[in-house]
Amino acid sequence: MQYRKAGYGAKTVAGAVAPRTAIVTPVLIVINVLVYALTAVQAQSPMSNERAEFFQDGVLWPIGMVLRDEWWRLLTSGFLHYGLIHIAMNMLALWVLGRDLEILLGRARFIAVYFVSMFGGSAAVFAFGDANTGTAGASGAIYGLMGAMLVAVLRLKLNPGAAIGIIVINVVLSISLPGISLLGHLGGLVVGALAMVAMVYAPAKNKGAFQAGVLALITAALVGLVLYRDSELSSQLCVLLGAC
Protein backbone atom coordinates (compact mmCIF):
# COMPACT_ATOMS: atom_id res chain seq x y z
CA MET A 1 0.00 0.00 0.00
CA GLN A 2 1.12 3.56 -0.68
CA TYR A 3 1.08 4.36 3.06
CA ARG A 4 4.14 2.17 3.53
CA LYS A 5 6.00 4.52 1.19
CA ALA A 6 4.50 7.68 2.66
CA GLY A 7 5.70 6.76 6.14
CA TYR A 8 4.06 5.18 9.14
CA GLY A 9 1.66 7.43 10.95
CA ALA A 10 0.39 9.00 7.71
CA LYS A 11 -3.36 9.54 7.50
CA THR A 12 -4.96 6.98 5.21
CA VAL A 13 -7.86 7.38 2.82
CA ALA A 14 -10.04 5.68 5.43
CA GLY A 15 -9.23 8.43 7.92
CA ALA A 16 -7.04 6.22 10.10
CA VAL A 17 -3.53 6.87 11.31
CA ALA A 18 -1.54 4.08 9.65
CA PRO A 19 -0.13 1.82 12.38
CA ARG A 20 3.53 0.89 12.31
CA THR A 21 2.77 -2.80 11.91
CA ALA A 22 -0.19 -5.13 11.69
CA ILE A 23 -1.14 -6.62 15.05
CA VAL A 24 -4.79 -7.65 14.68
CA THR A 25 -4.09 -9.93 11.71
CA PRO A 26 -1.56 -12.20 13.48
CA VAL A 27 -3.74 -12.20 16.62
CA LEU A 28 -6.70 -13.45 14.55
CA ILE A 29 -4.49 -16.12 13.04
CA VAL A 30 -3.29 -17.25 16.47
CA ILE A 31 -6.88 -17.46 17.77
CA ASN A 32 -7.97 -19.54 14.77
CA VAL A 33 -4.99 -21.87 15.11
CA LEU A 34 -5.56 -22.33 18.85
CA VAL A 35 -9.23 -23.16 18.28
CA TYR A 36 -8.26 -25.63 15.57
CA ALA A 37 -5.66 -27.22 17.86
CA LEU A 38 -8.26 -27.61 20.61
CA THR A 39 -10.69 -29.37 18.28
CA ALA A 40 -7.92 -31.58 16.87
CA VAL A 41 -6.87 -32.64 20.38
CA GLN A 42 -10.46 -33.30 21.44
CA ALA A 43 -11.15 -35.35 18.31
CA GLN A 44 -7.69 -36.97 18.47
CA SER A 45 -7.37 -36.27 14.75
CA PRO A 46 -5.99 -33.27 12.82
CA MET A 47 -8.12 -34.09 9.78
CA SER A 48 -11.40 -35.16 11.41
CA ASN A 49 -11.48 -32.50 14.07
CA GLU A 50 -15.16 -31.81 13.33
CA ARG A 51 -15.91 -34.74 15.66
CA ALA A 52 -14.77 -32.65 18.63
CA GLU A 53 -17.42 -31.55 21.13
CA PHE A 54 -16.16 -27.96 20.97
CA PHE A 55 -16.56 -28.01 17.17
CA GLN A 56 -20.08 -29.46 17.34
CA ASP A 57 -21.10 -26.82 19.87
CA GLY A 58 -19.88 -23.97 17.66
CA VAL A 59 -20.55 -24.97 14.04
CA LEU A 60 -23.18 -22.98 12.12
CA TRP A 61 -26.20 -25.31 12.20
CA PRO A 62 -29.43 -23.41 11.36
CA ILE A 63 -31.91 -25.99 12.66
CA GLY A 64 -30.03 -26.34 15.92
CA MET A 65 -29.84 -22.57 16.29
CA VAL A 66 -33.61 -22.20 15.92
CA LEU A 67 -34.52 -25.14 18.15
CA ARG A 68 -32.03 -24.33 20.90
CA ASP A 69 -31.58 -20.54 20.54
CA GLU A 70 -27.83 -21.06 20.04
CA TRP A 71 -27.17 -17.81 18.21
CA TRP A 72 -23.51 -17.69 19.19
CA ARG A 73 -22.94 -20.13 16.30
CA LEU A 74 -23.14 -17.18 13.87
CA LEU A 75 -19.84 -16.00 15.36
CA THR A 76 -18.11 -19.13 16.67
CA SER A 77 -18.42 -20.93 13.33
CA GLY A 78 -16.07 -18.30 11.87
CA PHE A 79 -13.24 -19.62 14.03
CA LEU A 80 -13.72 -23.33 13.27
CA HIS A 81 -12.15 -25.25 10.39
CA TYR A 82 -12.56 -28.66 8.81
CA GLY A 83 -9.09 -30.18 8.94
CA LEU A 84 -5.52 -29.01 8.47
CA ILE A 85 -5.77 -28.01 4.80
CA HIS A 86 -8.83 -25.86 5.42
CA ILE A 87 -7.25 -23.82 8.18
CA ALA A 88 -3.88 -23.60 6.41
CA MET A 89 -5.45 -22.10 3.26
CA ASN A 90 -7.62 -19.67 5.19
CA MET A 91 -4.83 -18.46 7.46
CA LEU A 92 -2.50 -17.95 4.50
CA ALA A 93 -5.17 -15.83 2.79
CA LEU A 94 -5.78 -13.90 6.02
CA TRP A 95 -2.05 -13.19 6.36
CA VAL A 96 -1.72 -12.00 2.76
CA LEU A 97 -4.83 -9.80 2.75
CA GLY A 98 -5.00 -8.71 6.34
CA ARG A 99 -1.63 -7.02 6.78
CA ASP A 100 -2.09 -4.31 4.15
CA LEU A 101 -5.76 -3.78 4.89
CA GLU A 102 -5.01 -3.34 8.58
CA ILE A 103 -2.44 -0.66 7.73
CA LEU A 104 -4.93 1.05 5.42
CA LEU A 105 -7.91 0.91 7.76
CA GLY A 106 -6.24 1.13 11.13
CA ARG A 107 -6.90 -1.53 13.74
CA ALA A 108 -10.41 -0.55 14.87
CA ARG A 109 -11.81 -0.19 11.35
CA PHE A 110 -10.09 -3.39 10.24
CA ILE A 111 -11.69 -5.33 13.10
CA ALA A 112 -15.08 -3.85 12.18
CA VAL A 113 -14.78 -4.83 8.51
CA TYR A 114 -13.53 -8.32 9.41
CA PHE A 115 -16.35 -9.13 11.80
CA VAL A 116 -19.16 -7.58 9.77
CA SER A 117 -17.91 -9.64 6.81
CA MET A 118 -17.92 -12.76 8.99
CA PHE A 119 -21.47 -11.97 10.04
CA GLY A 120 -22.42 -11.41 6.40
CA GLY A 121 -21.17 -14.85 5.45
CA SER A 122 -22.92 -16.51 8.40
CA ALA A 123 -26.18 -14.65 7.75
CA ALA A 124 -26.16 -15.70 4.08
CA VAL A 125 -25.66 -19.36 5.02
CA PHE A 126 -28.35 -19.19 7.69
CA ALA A 127 -30.86 -17.38 5.48
CA PHE A 128 -30.40 -19.19 2.18
CA GLY A 129 -28.53 -22.44 2.87
CA ASP A 130 -29.57 -25.96 3.84
CA ALA A 131 -31.01 -25.61 7.32
CA ASN A 132 -29.73 -29.00 8.46
CA THR A 133 -26.14 -28.73 7.18
CA GLY A 134 -23.27 -27.59 9.38
CA THR A 135 -20.94 -24.87 8.08
CA ALA A 136 -17.70 -23.50 9.51
CA GLY A 137 -14.63 -21.51 8.53
CA ALA A 138 -13.17 -18.02 8.39
CA SER A 139 -13.89 -17.88 4.66
CA GLY A 140 -16.78 -15.42 4.99
CA ALA A 141 -14.51 -12.91 6.71
CA ILE A 142 -11.65 -13.60 4.29
CA TYR A 143 -13.86 -13.15 1.23
CA GLY A 144 -14.97 -9.90 2.86
CA LEU A 145 -11.33 -8.84 2.92
CA MET A 146 -11.08 -9.74 -0.78
CA GLY A 147 -14.04 -7.47 -1.52
CA ALA A 148 -12.52 -4.78 0.68
CA MET A 149 -9.19 -5.04 -1.12
CA LEU A 150 -10.85 -4.59 -4.51
CA VAL A 151 -12.68 -1.47 -3.31
CA ALA A 152 -9.46 -0.09 -1.83
CA VAL A 153 -7.57 -0.68 -5.09
CA LEU A 154 -10.27 1.12 -7.06
CA ARG A 155 -10.34 4.00 -4.57
CA LEU A 156 -6.56 4.41 -4.79
CA LYS A 157 -6.75 4.27 -8.61
CA LEU A 158 -4.43 1.26 -8.81
CA ASN A 159 -4.62 -1.55 -11.37
CA PRO A 160 -7.49 -3.77 -10.18
CA GLY A 161 -6.56 -6.71 -12.43
CA ALA A 162 -4.84 -8.80 -9.74
CA ALA A 163 -7.58 -8.22 -7.16
CA ILE A 164 -10.31 -9.08 -9.65
CA GLY A 165 -8.40 -12.16 -10.78
CA ILE A 166 -8.03 -13.45 -7.23
CA ILE A 167 -11.74 -12.99 -6.56
CA VAL A 168 -12.78 -14.69 -9.81
CA ILE A 169 -10.47 -17.66 -9.21
CA ASN A 170 -11.77 -18.12 -5.67
CA VAL A 171 -15.42 -17.85 -6.71
CA VAL A 172 -14.84 -20.43 -9.47
CA LEU A 173 -13.21 -22.75 -6.93
CA SER A 174 -16.13 -22.22 -4.57
CA ILE A 175 -18.53 -23.30 -7.29
CA SER A 176 -16.51 -26.21 -8.66
CA LEU A 177 -15.15 -27.86 -5.50
CA PRO A 178 -17.52 -30.03 -3.41
CA GLY A 179 -18.21 -29.16 0.21
CA ILE A 180 -17.49 -25.44 -0.21
CA SER A 181 -19.98 -22.91 1.16
CA LEU A 182 -20.57 -20.65 -1.82
CA LEU A 183 -23.24 -18.72 0.09
CA GLY A 184 -20.86 -17.99 2.95
CA HIS A 185 -18.19 -16.80 0.53
CA LEU A 186 -20.51 -14.58 -1.50
CA GLY A 187 -22.18 -13.17 1.62
CA GLY A 188 -18.83 -12.20 3.07
CA LEU A 189 -17.60 -10.81 -0.26
CA VAL A 190 -20.60 -8.52 -0.77
CA VAL A 191 -20.74 -7.30 2.83
CA GLY A 192 -16.99 -6.72 2.97
CA ALA A 193 -17.10 -4.67 -0.22
CA LEU A 194 -20.04 -2.58 1.05
CA ALA A 195 -18.29 -1.98 4.38
CA MET A 196 -15.14 -0.89 2.58
CA VAL A 197 -17.07 1.53 0.38
CA ALA A 198 -18.20 3.22 3.59
CA MET A 199 -14.63 3.31 4.84
CA VAL A 200 -12.84 4.78 1.85
CA TYR A 201 -15.59 6.88 0.27
CA ALA A 202 -16.85 8.49 3.48
CA PRO A 203 -17.13 12.29 3.35
CA ALA A 204 -14.32 14.23 4.99
CA LYS A 205 -16.69 15.85 7.47
CA ASN A 206 -17.78 13.51 10.27
CA LYS A 207 -15.99 10.64 8.55
CA GLY A 208 -15.94 8.39 11.61
CA ALA A 209 -19.63 8.90 12.37
CA PHE A 210 -20.55 8.18 8.74
CA GLN A 211 -18.50 4.98 8.71
CA ALA A 212 -19.97 3.76 12.00
CA GLY A 213 -23.48 4.60 10.83
CA VAL A 214 -23.14 2.63 7.59
CA LEU A 215 -21.69 -0.38 9.41
CA ALA A 216 -24.58 -0.19 11.87
CA LEU A 217 -27.07 -0.17 8.99
CA ILE A 218 -25.38 -3.17 7.36
CA THR A 219 -25.41 -5.04 10.66
CA ALA A 220 -29.06 -4.16 11.25
CA ALA A 221 -29.97 -5.42 7.77
CA LEU A 222 -28.17 -8.71 8.45
CA VAL A 223 -29.90 -9.07 11.82
CA GLY A 224 -33.22 -8.48 10.06
CA LEU A 225 -32.39 -11.19 7.52
CA VAL A 226 -31.52 -13.63 10.31
CA LEU A 227 -34.72 -12.84 12.22
CA TYR A 228 -36.84 -13.30 9.10
CA ARG A 229 -35.28 -16.69 8.41
CA ASP A 230 -35.66 -17.63 12.06
CA SER A 231 -39.38 -16.90 11.87
CA GLU A 232 -39.67 -18.90 8.65
CA LEU A 233 -37.82 -21.92 10.05
CA SER A 234 -39.74 -21.75 13.32
CA SER A 235 -43.04 -21.93 11.43
CA GLN A 236 -41.82 -24.87 9.36
CA LEU A 237 -40.61 -26.74 12.44
CA CYS A 238 -43.86 -25.99 14.24
CA VAL A 239 -45.83 -27.71 11.46
CA LEU A 240 -43.32 -30.56 11.11
CA LEU A 241 -43.24 -31.33 14.84
CA GLY A 242 -46.96 -30.78 15.30
CA ALA A 243 -46.34 -28.24 18.02
CA CYS A 244 -48.46 -25.44 16.57
- Residues with active-site annotation: 139, 185
Rounded Cα distance between 220 and 239, Å, is 29
- Among 184, 88, 98, which Cα is nearest to 133's? 184
Helix (H) or strand (E) holding 221: helix 207-241
Residue at 107: amino acid letter: R
Contact 60, 135 (CB under 8 A): yes
Rounded Cα distance between 36 and 124, Å, is 23
Instruction: List Cα–Cα distances, 117 to 87, 96, 105, in angstroms.
Output: 18, 17, 15
Torsions phi, psi for 59 (to 5 deg): -65, 150
Instruction: List Cα–Cα distances, 233 to 67, 127, 135, 144, in angstroms.
Output: 9, 9, 17, 27
